Structure 1
C-alpha cells in the first residue's frame, strides 16, 4: 500500500487563491499516477500530483501530458470522467463511505459521497465553493501533445458529512486517478494499484494511506 505524508501550508501564504499556490507547490515533491490495472492500446499518459493542506482547505495540483484530449462538460456534477479527467477520493478514519472529487481539464467538478458506486451527489451550492485554476497547452510533440495543469482548493466545509476543523494529525484513506472514458483511446490510471477484472475506481479496499503532518 502506498503511503503519503501530506504537508501543511499556511493559508496566509496563498490567501485562498489557487493561482497563488504555484510558488508554494514548487517546493513540494510530486507523486506520480503510474499504475494501469487495465492496460489500453494507446499511449500511456504522464500524470503527476501534489497535495497539501492549510488551515481551512485541502490543496491539490495535477499535471497531465496525454495523447488525446476532451473537455466537453461544463456544469457542476456533469459526467466529467468522460473527458480528460483527474480524480481524488478520500475517506476519513476507517468508515466505508468516502468523498470522490473528479475534475476535467476545464476544472468542472463532480463531487459525491457514499459507499462504493452508491453515490450521493454533493449540492452544487457547496461544490461551487471549490476554487479551481487551470492551464491547457498544446505542445510540439507527436506522442503527448496535450499538456494541462489544474490547481484546486477544497474548503473543509465541502466534507459536509464531517465536522472538519483541521486535518493536522489525521490518517485517512485515499487514491488518485486519471481517466478519460470517451477519449479516442480510453485509459484508467491510479496512484495506489487496484486489482479488479474491469475498470472500477470505487474500490476503497485499494485506497492508500494519507497522513496529514
Structure 2
C-alpha cells in the first residue's frame, strides 16, 4: 500500500499555481504512474502535492497533458469526462469518503459517499462556496488542445467542511499534536477526450472504478 506524507505548510499557499515557490517548492510530490488497461496510448505526467495548516488542507496538481478539454462547466456536473484531476479521501476509517473531482477549468464535482453508493450525498453549495480553486486553463475549453500543455489546479478545503459531513473528528483531525492517517487516492482522467485515459496513484486493479475505498492508500499528516 502506498503512503503519502502531508507536512504542515511553511506559509499560506497563494493559490496561484506557484509549484516551485516558497510554500510548495520543498514539498514532496506523489506521482501517478499506474494507468488502467483501457486507457489510450496517451499517459499524461501527473504529480500532486498536499500541505495543511490550522484552517484546512491544500491540494495542488500539476499535469503534463495533451488532448485537453473542459466542456462541463457547471458545479456538480460530470467533470470527470473532461481533463480532470481527482482526490478521493476517507478521513475516518469506517465512515464515508469524499471525491474531489476538479477539471482543468476549475469546475468541481464533490460528494460525500457512503456504502452502498446509493447513499451518496452531494456537498451543498454552502460548503462548495468555501472551497477556493485556482486553475491555469480557461474555464471552458471547447476545442481540444492537442499539443502538449502543462496545466495546474490548486485548491483549499476548510476543516469545517469535512466535519460537517463526518459529524466529528474521532481524533483524526490533523494538526492537533499527533500524526494521523487518512486513506485516499489520486486520479487523472479524461473520459470524453479523443485519447481517454485513467491514471492512478494507488492502482485500483482490473475494475475501472475509482470508487473503491478498499484500494485506497495512506495519507499521513505529520
TM-score over 0.5 for the pair? yes
1:205 has 2:205 as partner: no
Alpha-carbon distance between aligned partners in 1 of 2:161 and 2:101, rounded to the nearest angstrom: 14
Find the counterpart in structure 1 of residue 51 from structure 2: 52
Find the counterpart in structure 2 of residue 90 from structure 1: 89
Find the counterpart in structure 2 of residue 19 from structure 1: 16
1:152 has 2:155 as partner: yes
Question: For the Cα contact (< 8 Å) 1:65–1:144, is it kept in 2?
Answer: no
- Give the superposed CA RMSD: 2.2
Question: For the Cα contact (< 8 Å) 1:7–1:53, is it kept in 2?
Answer: yes
Could you list the runs of 5+ residues in structure 1 that have no partner in the other structure?
none
1:170 has 2:180 as partner: yes
Question: For the Cα contact (< 8 Å) 2:190–2:196, is it kept in 1?
Answer: yes
Question: For the Cα contact (< 8 Å) 1:136–1:146, is it kept in 2?
Answer: no
Could you list the runs of 5+ residues in structure 2 that have no partner in the other structure?
139-144
Question: For the Cα contact (< 8 Å) 1:177–1:190, is it kept in 2?
Answer: yes
Question: For the Cα contact (< 8 Å) 1:43–1:143, is it kept in 2?
Answer: no
Question: How do residues 1-213 of structure 1 correspond to structure 2 at under 5 angstroms?
Answer: 1-9=1-9, 13-14=11-12, 17-19=14-16, 22=19, 23=21, 24-115=23-114, 117-118=117-118, 119-136=120-137, 145-159=148-162, 160-162=164-166, 163-164=168-169, 166-168=173-175, 169-197=179-207, 199-213=208-222
1:93-131, Cα deviation, whole Å (9 max, x unpaired): 321521110000111111101125432110022112111
1:140-188, Cα deviation, whole Å (9 max, x unpaired): xx98612101111111122122335941322111000000111111111
SS at match of 1:70: strand
Alpha-carbon distance between aligned partners in 2 of 1:96 and 1:195, rounded to the nearest angstrom: 23
Total equivalences in the alignment: 205
Question: For the Cα contact (< 8 Å) 2:49–2:59, is it kept in 1?
Answer: yes
